Amino acid sequence: MSNFNISPKIIWKFFFAGLGFVFLFFLLIRIGLFGKLPSFEEIENPNSNLASEIYSADSVLIGKFYVNNRSNVSFDQLSPWLEKALISTEDKRFYEHSGIDIFRTFKAVFTLGQDGGGSTITQQLAKNMFHKRGGGIITRVIQKAKEYVIAVMLERRYTKEEIIAMYFNTFDFVNNAIGIESASRIYFNKQPKDLNIEEAAMFVGMLQNPSLYNPNRNETFRKRCEERRSIVLRLMRDNGHISNAQLSELLMKPIELNFHPESASDGLAPYFRQTLAEYLKKWAKENKKPDGTSYNIYTDGLKIYTTLDTRMQKHAEEATVEHLRNHQKIIDAQFRSGWNPWKKELGQKILLSACKNTPRWRNMKAEGMSDDAILEVFKTQKNKMTVFSYNGMKDTTFTPYDSVRYYKSFLQVGFMVMEPNTGYVKAWVGGPNFNYFKVDHCNTQRQVGSTFKPIVYALAVDNGWSPCMVVTPGKVTIGNWSPRGGSGGPQTLKHALTKSDNQVAAYITLKFGVSAIIDMSRKMGIVSDLPPYAPISLGASDITLSEMMTVYSTFPNAGISTKPQFLVRIEDKDGNIVQNFTTEMREVLSDNIAYKMVDMLKGPVGPGGTGGSLRGRFGLGDIKNICGKTGTTNNNTDGWFIGFTPQLVAGAWVGCDDPILHFLTTGNGMGAASAMPIFGKFMYKAYNDPKLKKLKKDMDFFIPSDAELAKNVCSGDEVETDIYNSTVGGNTDAVEENYDTEYKF
């Protein structure tokens, strides 16, 4: 039997050869032979999707635009218990190594991972940020080596505290909660800095496998999460962060979530955020980052600061729902009484078109089914479903056709609030419920009715007519058109506006011409197409609520038309200002003319006005100055009310998406009944909110240049009686076409 001897020299050769191989292997990893590693620049600026955050004027996060619902926080914004729990559980020597714990690595190799892995927090961060698990044993060895290299690079670029923050920021806690900021808010409705011991321990426990330890899934998963949390708490005790007494107490506590799921449509002001998104997507295409690429609102982590006030927004949303909950009952009662416009030919066409726009119809069409066959299924196949109602969700059985008809029969709403002097939008409600009705009615064109008349009167006053001037229009005829409504008898302009007299509005049109009215409309902020015919004076035009807000801002803002502005500034993810935004303004009237119009517009909400019940009905008697105008269109299809105080302009539209649906009586469909209550309810809530101290009930409107107007708006004007015959003379260019249709507004 021979002896097998290996000389020490050979052993040392093998040792150094092994070291050389390891060195060469890591060198090849570093230069990218086995796949590209992140550059130092990428390490400094990791390419991860960051949600853009939307903030209100009162500094509340009201929503996000995101691919991944992730927002970064710094180390000082973390609860100290998060750090203690993480280090105790994942990497006890975190502050002692430089990214790789040699002791844990060799221990993991020799025990084959039975006593835990050898990855440090920094290595885990490297894996989370720059590559994922996958492949066979060789691929895993290469990936592990990459983790080592990237971990060292991270340690060279960041402090230990920054690495901990980055680790929590990049982890996916499931339930659409990527990063600790989103997770804290979704699971506990807290900021990360406010997490207590057991909450921090739960999140650290989830790091091992967030799907397996998902506390919101069911009771089995919650118990599993509690068991994992207990392990973390014991490790925190072992590392001296909590006492035995604390541990005993904490182990007895169940997981108590305050779960707030988040999606793009959840949260405050969803219609506003939808409009904001559309605007910002266009903005992003037109604005470049320093590297020349376009901004992406879903991945660039922008901070978007808006003008919205969350307190006013809540009051606006409450006011609209409170009113629509009651007013919808009128439409429902009309259906129960036998009224059903859906049975008419036009109604059938509308419903069929709506059915064809559903995903279900399109899917069946893609499968090769004919329209007739699909319609048969839509009308006969019943399904159990949960549907929206103003009294909460309700279970029912509907065919797809029934469902389309059900949702088509709801009243819709548009309601906006803005400051007249700044144009800052304070509240924006585009519909009754964003999850079920996506159309934003602040931006849809609807016939505006008599809310258009202040433009007509402003034209007259701007051309020298006094609010106290008496006119006797009689029955006005322009071409073949004669408006209904109004006495046409002797009355002042102010009285005519108070009563919304159609004859006087038509008379002004006769005197100054349709083209002059359109010119004034354009100056005051209307950009929608305006028909060049006489009924325009009574509101026979489709205009958006947003445009009408611009018009009405002119009066309390001393003659300066102010376009609604909803953005203040945008910052990049590092806090650098990308753009500041300013309000678009235009001087339209002199302050004296605007003051006269303000005085005239007090009439419609005063005694005998079309909105005369406003103060008493909604408890607004202690607000010193309120102005406003109602509007009602043909067949009571559209109801409007736009009003203002010295500090706020607010406008409401109410109606159904399809004009075939309407109120059967003017008492229910007129603007004072269908739209004004939203204004009234909102103003009561806002002006009585102790948190809105800026709103003053005793505030006056601006002081005009002509100080005498503040004493008497008709001071210096003799009360005149117009002597022109209403059917002849005057400005005949108003008669550009003949109309046989009678318009009632």
Return the bridge partners of 70, or none: 178
Whether residues 416 and 404 share a domain: the answer is: no
Bridge partners for 172 per DSSP: 178
The number of residues making up the chain comes to 745
Is residue 149 predicted with pLDDT exceeding 90?
no
- The tokens of 197 are what? 């011991």
Could you tell me if 114 and 242 lie in one domain? yes
What average pLDDT does range 520-533 have in this prediction?
95
Q: Kindly state whether residue 81 falls inside one of the protein's structural domains.
A: yes
Is position 121 within any domain? Answer: yes
Q: Which two tokens stand for residue 344?
A: 């008419």
In a domain, 352, yes or no: yes
Domain co-membership, 464 together with 521: yes
The answer to whether residue 183 is domain-embedded is: yes
Domain span at residue 365 reads 340-409
701 with 624, same domain: the answer is yes
Region 367-388: what's the mean pLDDT? 93
Model confidence over 460-491: pLDDT tens digits?
999 999 999 999 999 999 988 899 888 889 99
**74 and 212: one domain?**
yes
Reduce the DSSP state of residue 524 to 3 states and report it.
Answer: helix
Confidence check: pLDDT of 333 > 80: yes
Counting the structural domains of the chain, the total is 3
Do 577 and 306 contact (CB within 8 A), yes or no?
no
Quick check: 501 and 509 in contact, CB under 8 A? no
Report yes or no on 288 lying in a domain: no
Quote the strand ranges of 419-466, DSSP E.
425-429, 445-447
The string of pLDDT tens digits covering residues 168-210 is 988 889 888 888 998 999 999 999 999 999 999 999 999 999 9
30-81 pLDDT, tens digit per residue, is: 555 445 555 555 556 565 678 899 999 999 999 888 877 778 889 999 999 9
Q: Using only the alpha carbons of the chain, give its radius of gyration.
A: 34
Question: Is the pTM above the cut of 0.85?
Answer: no
Q: 327, 654 in Cβ contact below 8 A?
A: yes
Nearest to 181 by CA among 172, 171, 192, 194: 192
Verify that 596 and 607 share a domain, yes or no.
yes
**Which residue type occupies 450?**
S
**What distance in Å separates the CA atoms of residue 735 and residue 535, rounded to the nearest whole number?**
11
Q: Is residue 293 situated within a structural domain?
A: no
Residues 604 and 672 in one domain: yes
Closest CA to 181 of 310, 299, 50: 50
pLDDT at position 487 is 83
The backbone torsions φ and ψ at residue 487, rounded to the nearest 5 degrees and listed phi first, read -80, -30
Strand order in the sheet with 577-580: 61-65, 52-55, 303-306, 567-571, 577-580
Bridge partners of residue 586, in order along the sequence: 561
Domain shared by 501 and 405, yes or no: no
Q: CATH number for the domain including 640?
A: 3.40.710.10
Asked if the structure places residue 278 within a domain, the reply is: no
Q: How many angstroms from the chain centroid is the CA of residue 491?
A: 46
Tokens at residue 324, please? 């629509």
- In this structure, the answer to whether residues 464 and 600 fall within a common structural domain is yes
pLDDT tens digits, 240-252: 999 999 999 999 9
Query: The dihedral of CA 487, 493, 494, 498: what is its sign?
Result: positive
Question: How far apart, in whole angstroms, are the C-alpha atoms of residue 47 and residue 53?
Answer: 18
Read off the CATH number of the domain in which 171 is found.
1.10.3810.10
Q: Where are the alpha helices (DSSP H) in 131-218?
A: 137-157, 160-170, 180-188, 197-206
Q: Is residue 379 part of a domain?
A: yes
- Mean pLDDT, rounded, for 628-650: 96
Q: Give the pLDDT mean for 15-30.
A: 55
> Do residues 354 and 472 both lie within one domain?
no
Task: Check whether residue 355 and residue 419 sit in a common domain.
Answer: no
Do both 170 and 214 map to the same domain? yes
Which of the listed residues 389, 409, 429 is the one where a domain comes to its end? 409
Name which of 12-21, 175-184, 391-400 the model is least confident about. 12-21
Report which of 322, 452, 325, 471 is spatially closest to residue 388, judged by C-alpha positions.
325
Task: Check whether 698 has a pLDDT greater than 80.
Answer: yes
